[in-house]
């Protein structure tokens, strides 16, 4: 037999068949990682576009509602001013009975002092002095009531 026609068969193990050189393996991993990075970046861009339009829509809705509320704000300010005026008027009305009472008491005191003055013109001596003291006291009361 001749050596030329002889093929030496060696058993290859499964690990030798599937095993690649480290350089080839690193090259494939880099290629796969590049694909993953590209997919992630495309998804990130898509998410940013979705977030942009959703925020734009939300801001537009808020602006529209604020524009609708502006006239209401003006009306609230006017209403608040009107309520303030009404409260001040009510306070004056509540004080009115007290003022009326003071006016009535002042009129009564004025009437009494006029009568005392009339009497003091017709009386003489110590009675006149007493009426003068009464008139002075009545004037003091009138000034405290005003």
| Structure tokens belonging to residue 130 | 């007493």
Nearest Cα neighbor of 138 from 99, 100, 111 is: 111
Domain ranges of the chain: 21-145
Mean pLDDT by 10 residues, the chain (146 residues): 56 54 79 87 96 95 89 86 87 82 84 84 82 85 80
pTM, two decimals, is 0.38
Cβ neighbours of residue 135 closer than 8 Å, sequence gap 6 or more: 113, 116, 117, 120
Q: Which two tokens stand for residue 4?
A: 């030329």
What pLDDT score was predicted for residue 45? Answer: 96
Q: Which of 70, 138, 136 is nearest to 110 (CA)?
A: 138
């Amino acid at each position: 037999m001749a050596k030329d026609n002889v093929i030496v068969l060696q058993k290859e193990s499964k690990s030798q068949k599937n095993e690649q050189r480290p350089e080839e393996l690193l090259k494939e991993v880099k290629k796969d990682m590049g694909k993953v990075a590209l997919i992630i970046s495309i998804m990130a861009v898509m998410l940013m576009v979705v977030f942009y339009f959703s925020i734009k829509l939300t801001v537009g809705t808020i602006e529209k509602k604020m524009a609708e509320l502006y006239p209401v704000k003006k009306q609230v300010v006017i209403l608040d001013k009107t309520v303030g005026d009404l409260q001040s008027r009510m306070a004056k009305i509540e004080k009115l009975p007290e003022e009326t009472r003071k006016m009535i008491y002042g009129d009564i005191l004025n009437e009494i002092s006029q009568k005392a003055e009339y009497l003091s013109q017709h009386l003489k001596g110590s009675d006149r002095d007493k009426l003068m003291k009464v008139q002075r006291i009545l004037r003091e009361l009138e000034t405290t009531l005003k």
